[in-house]
Amino acid sequence: MFAVSGRRAVEGEVSRPVRTVGRVITVTLPEEIGDIDGSDPATDETKAELAGKTLIFPRGLTVAELHDRLIARLKDDYDVAHVDLELADDGSVEYLAIGGRAAGLGPTLPPRTVAGDVATLALDQADAAELDDDTRYRLLTLPATPSAEQEFAGLLRAADETMEAVTVAPDSDLVGTTVGAIDATVVAVRPDGQQVEALPDRTRTLSAGDVVYVVARPETLRRVAAAAGGSGTTAPLRADGAEST
């Protein structure tokens, strides 16, 4: 752990967003922190706590390493579920958006998740009377109707990736692109006015009006959404431009 005067974060103004102070690097977060589409919004309190905050990291990190360390710090120390972060070549923060965690037990646990030693339950008085103080119970969360969709949602909440539906504009770079060429996981496509095609073949060609359901990290989702909207943003394609197998 590296710190200045025994602290992990430095408040106040600094001359540069990223600078070396002795044996450390300081990174200042922006005053404006965005929300991630498709993710539960972070609380206003969390955003206020992070806005303008300066965090400290060891000197000698590459930009990629600093990117990963900063995301891990936000998740571990501030209970943030998803982070969309872009750093400049000098390590300064160019863009930051965060997503919070869903409240309650149900949304945070996938089906068949076993509780720990202590759990708080809300139930009817008649049911509570049936519980024995000297008996150990095994608590298990089950969906009302087991389905692949519910299990997928539970797993997705625990992952770094999230899902977003984007509509392909007529002037989008995605028009004529195959599903397999996009550097993200496409789980479904809904053609304009038609039924959803789940797990489309990677050779399927996208057309204007298609709604594409993409699972990826927030920064990749943002680029896919911008490209789908015809903003002139280049779609994030696989490095060789070929379809994955």
| Tens digits of residue pLDDT in 133-175 | 888 777 666 555 555 555 666 666 666 778 888 999 999 989 9
* For range 12-26, the mean pLDDT: 53
CA distance 173 to 233: 8
Per-domain boundaries in the chain: 9-99, 161-228
| Structure confidence at residue 86 as a pLDDT band (50, 70, 90) | very high
Q: Is the pLDDT of residue 61 over 80?
A: yes
CA distance 91 to 66: 7
Whether residue 175 contacts residue 206, with contact meaning beta carbons closer than 8 Å, is answered with yes
CB-based burial label for 243 (10 Å; 0-12, 13-18, 19+): middle
Percent of the chain past pLDDT 90, that is, above it, reads 34
In angstroms, the Cα distances linking 206 to 153, 171, 217, 231 are 25, 12, 21, 17
| Structure confidence at residue 124 as a pLDDT band (50, 70, 90) | confident
Largest CA distance in the chain: 67
Strand residue runs (E) in the chain: 9-10, 18-21, 24-28, 34-35, 54-58, 82-87, 93-99, 162-167, 185-190, 197-198, 211-216
Q: Quote the mean pLDDT of the chain.
A: 77
Encoded amino acid at 52, one letter: G
- Per-residue confidence (pLDDT) for residue 9, from 0 to 100: 45
- Per-residue confidence (pLDDT) for residue 55, from 0 to 100: 92
Whether residue 216 contacts residue 227, with contact meaning beta carbons closer than 8 Å, is answered with no
In angstroms, the Cα distances linking 88 to 85, 103, 153, 193 are 10, 34, 33, 41
Percent of the chain past pLDDT 70, that is, above it, reads 68
Whether residue 219 contacts residue 164, with contact meaning beta carbons closer than 8 Å, is answered with no
Whether residue 192 contacts residue 210, with contact meaning beta carbons closer than 8 Å, is answered with yes
Sheet holding 93-99, edge to edge: 34-35, 93-99, 82-87
- Which is more confident, 10 or 202? 202
Q: What is the β-pairing status of strands 54-58 and 18-21?
A: unpaired
Residue with tokens 């990826």: 216
User: So what CATH class is 161-228?
Assistant: alpha beta
Q: Is the pLDDT of residue 46 over 90?
A: yes
The token pair at 209 is 């009006």
